[in-house]
């Protein structure tokens, strides 16, 4: 079995499928041609059953020979260092890629995730909505001027930013054609399609297993 192992949940309800963040790591491995295995922790006691590996009880986490890493952004940067398809080797390109990778997490996802959560739970907040709109408008201006975020080509920064932006409710929030074209362009990549299909297949197999266990 590959020494590179991505850990995720053994099952999730249908809603999160295709968005559980192990997909980011699967996608990176597919882009970089890295062999990997997928192992799981149980959904039922997920908040406590792997605290030694992920102190917040979340997924994914990554094992690479003797290295253990949690947080999807940290895992992505670790994987990106293995292959220049994801992280340029020249200092300027590498710095720009890391910069935009962190921006995806700190400047965009930190506002889109709480906004989305409040949206689906009926607790919308006008200040948060305004903040997200401002951030997405700022990003729209950037994407209107370039095809990729860094180094003039696809990098791990695009992988992460597109994954943050592809949430349906976020995509539907306002008219931002450059952003929408960007998300479509990145998610049309074969590596994304394979990673998403593999994740969906993983949870579908878990459905079948659970159904079989329930009929015994």
Longest dimension (CA), the chain: 59
**0.85 surpassed by pTM:** yes
Assign 84 a pLDDT band (cuts: 50, 70, 90): very high
pLDDT for residue 50 = 98
1 has a pLDDT exceeding 50: no
Q: Distances in Å between the alpha carbon of 201 and those of 71, 82, 194, 195, 213?
A: 23, 27, 10, 10, 18
Helix (H) or strand (E) segment spanning residue 9 = strand 4-9
Average the pLDDT over 135-139 and give the result. Answer: 98
- In the chain, pLDDT over 70 holds for what percent of residues? 99
pLDDT tens digits, 22-65: 999 999 999 999 999 999 999 999 999 999 999 999 999 999 99
Q: Hey, is 38 helix, strand or coil?
A: strand
For the segment 73-93, the average pLDDT, to the nearest whole number, is 98
SS3 69: strand
Question: Mean pLDDT over all residues of the chain?
Answer: 96
For residue 159, the tally of other CB atoms under 10 A from its CB is 27
122 or 87, greater pLDDT: 87
C-alpha–C-alpha distance, residues 163 and 179, integer Å = 12
**Strands 37-41 and 67-70, sheet pairing:** unpaired
Domains and CATH numbers, the chain: 4-84+191-214 (3.40.30.10), 91-189 (1.20.1050.10)
């Amino acid at each position: 079995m590959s020494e590179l192992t991505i850990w995720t949940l053994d099952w999730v309800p249908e809603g999160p499928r295709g968005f559980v963040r192990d997909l980011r790591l699967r996608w990176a491995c597919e882009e970089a041609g890295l062999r990997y295995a997928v192992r799981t922790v149980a959904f039922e006691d997920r908040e406590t059953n792997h605290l030694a590996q992920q102190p917040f009880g979340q997924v994914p986490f990554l094992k690479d020979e003797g290295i253990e890493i949690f947080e999807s952004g940290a895992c992505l940067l670790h994987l990106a260092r293995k292959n220049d398809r994801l992280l340029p080797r020249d200092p300027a390109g590498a710095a720009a890629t890391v910069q935009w990778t962190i921006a995806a997490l700190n400047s965009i996802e930190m506002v889109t995730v709480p906004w989305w959560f409040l949206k689906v739970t009926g607790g919308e907040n006008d200040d948060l909505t305004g903040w997200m709109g401002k951030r997405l408008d700022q990003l729209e201006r950037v994407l209107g001027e370039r095809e990729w975020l860094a180094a003039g080509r696809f990098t791990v920064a695009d992988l992460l930013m597109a994954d943050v932006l592809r949430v349906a409710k976020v995509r539907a929030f306002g008219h931002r054609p450059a952003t929408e074209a960007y998300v479509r362009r990145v998610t049309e990549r074969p590596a994304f399609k394979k990673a998403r299909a593999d994740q969906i297949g993983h949870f579908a197999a878990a459905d079948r297993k659970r159904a079989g266990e329930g009929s015994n």
